[in-house]
Amino acid sequence: MLRARGTGRRPVMLAIAGDSAAGKTTLTRGLVQCLGADRMTAVCVDDYHRYDRAERKGKPFTALHPDCNHIDIMEQHLQLLSMGEPILKPVYDHATGELVRPELVEPRDFVIVEGLLPLHTRLARACFDITVYLDPPEILRHAWKIRRDCEKRGYTPDQVRAELARREAESAAYIRPQRRSADIVVRFAPVAGRTDPPDTPLSAELLLRPTIDHPELGPVIEQAASGGTAMHLRLHRDTDGRPVDALHVHGYVSPDESQVVKKALWERLGARAGHLEQDVLGRFGEAGTSDPLAITQLLLLYHLLDADQRQAA
């Protein structure tokens, strides 16, 4: 279902930014499965490399550096997608490190753009209705990256660690500053000081910036938590002093508690959510499920459908 050109309706654009192996694909997958691939286009913007792997060898920067990427073309393509236009997107083959045949991407009703630098420039940011930054603790992200790159991309753990060290300065300079530009900062992490059973999912801490209109969640959470500590919404100052709401959904939340919040969010989605697949939310890895992840995805679904409705109005 392509959004017809000339109707004046544009796709709803969601950015999911974050460092390598921060969990972008996991978060995206549930959203695409829930809304349906016929209504949603997922685009990874890590393919705009100016140099292939062999050419990068002699360069004084890693693939994270903006100078190593066609940032102006990425901006152009984001603008085109946001206007409902197709793009011929470059493709980088992670297995071979080569730039290969580009692919046609046609925006559907919803476009999720995930990658390392989608929020790097002002013009790129201006293309999005909703912006998310994934911010796991570095120690966790490193473990995820080592596991993924060894299992799926054929590296050894030492090679991945060396690459992480090489990238650290550029992560700090270019990736992490995007956190500041996100409407929602998502941090999956274990809760400090607790010794939950080993299969307890990670907790989610969601910073909800007042840059977009979030659903009113306070009363729901108060009711669901009924004095417990597994979920709470707190007014908070971010590390830079700016006010935010911080929504915590702990991994040890009981199914009953999380069910109250999920139900309340589904109700807010209303009739628009009638045909959505609910049980694809919260899945990770081969067979894991996580209520904190499901609630995070539900909140993003709320924003996607809300922006879509405002487009239609």
Q: Least distance (Å) from a second copy to the CB of residue 62?
A: 20
Q: Binding residue for a second copy (CB under 8 A) from 38, 98, 168, 279?
A: 98
Q: Applying CB under 8 A, does 37 fall inside the site for a second copy? A: no
Q: Which stretch binds a second copy (CB under 8 A): 16-24, 38-46, 81-89, 217-225?
A: 81-89
Number of Cβ atoms within 10 Å of the Cβ of 202: 22
Q: Least distance (Å) from a second copy to the CB of residue 170?
A: 22
Helix (H, G, I), strand (E, B) or coil at 291: helix
Q: Applying CB under 8 A, does 100 fall inside the site for a second copy? A: yes
Calculate the CA 209 to chain-centre distance: 15
Q: Least distance (Å) from a second copy to the CB of residue 89?
A: 9
Residue 53 or residue 147: which is nearer to a second copy going by CB? 53
Residue 34 or residue 113: which is nearer to a second copy going by CB? 113
Element (H, E) at 168: helix 157-170
Q: Total binding residues for a second copy by CB under 8 A?
A: 18
| Token duo for residue 311 | 């487009």
Phi, psi of 104, deg, nearest 5: -75, 130
Q: Applying CB under 8 A, does 45 fall inside the site for a second copy? A: no
Q: Binding residue for a second copy (CB under 8 A) from 102, 210, 218, 228?
A: 102
| Token duo for residue 19 | 């460092």
The C-alpha atoms of residue 41 and residue 21 are separated, in whole angstroms, by: 21
Q: Binding residue for a second copy (CB under 8 A) from 80, 123, 189, 191?
A: 80
Residues for the chain: how many in total? Answer: 313
Q: Applying CB under 8 A, does 88 fall inside the site for a second copy? A: yes
Q: Applying CB under 8 A, does 76 fall inside the site for a second copy? A: yes
Give the CA angle between residues 209, 212, 216 to the nearest 5°. Answer: 80
Helix (H, G, I), strand (E, B) or coil at 258: helix
The C-alpha atoms of residue 253 and residue 73 are separated, in whole angstroms, by: 44
Q: Least distance (Å) from a second copy to the CB of residue 9?
A: 18
Q: Least distance (Å) from a second copy to the CB of residue 125?
A: 19
Q: Applying CB under 8 A, does 238 fall inside the site for a second copy? A: no
For the stretch 228-257, what's the b/e string if a residue is b when 16 or more beta carbons lie within 10 angstroms of its beta carbon? Answer: eebbebeeeeeeeeeebbbbbbbbbbeeeb
Q: Binding residue for a second copy (CB under 8 A) from 72, 196, 267, 277?
A: 72
| Token duo for residue 139 | 């120690």
Helix (H, G, I), strand (E, B) or coil at 303: helix
Q: Binding residue for a second copy (CB under 8 A) from 9, 56, 62, 73?
A: 73
List, in sequence order, every residue forming a beta bridge with 98; answer none if it has no partner. 93
Q: Least distance (Å) from a second copy to the CB of residue 55?
A: 11
Q: Which residues bind a second copy (CB under 8 A)?
A: 50, 52, 70, 72-73, 76, 80, 85-88, 90, 98-102, 104
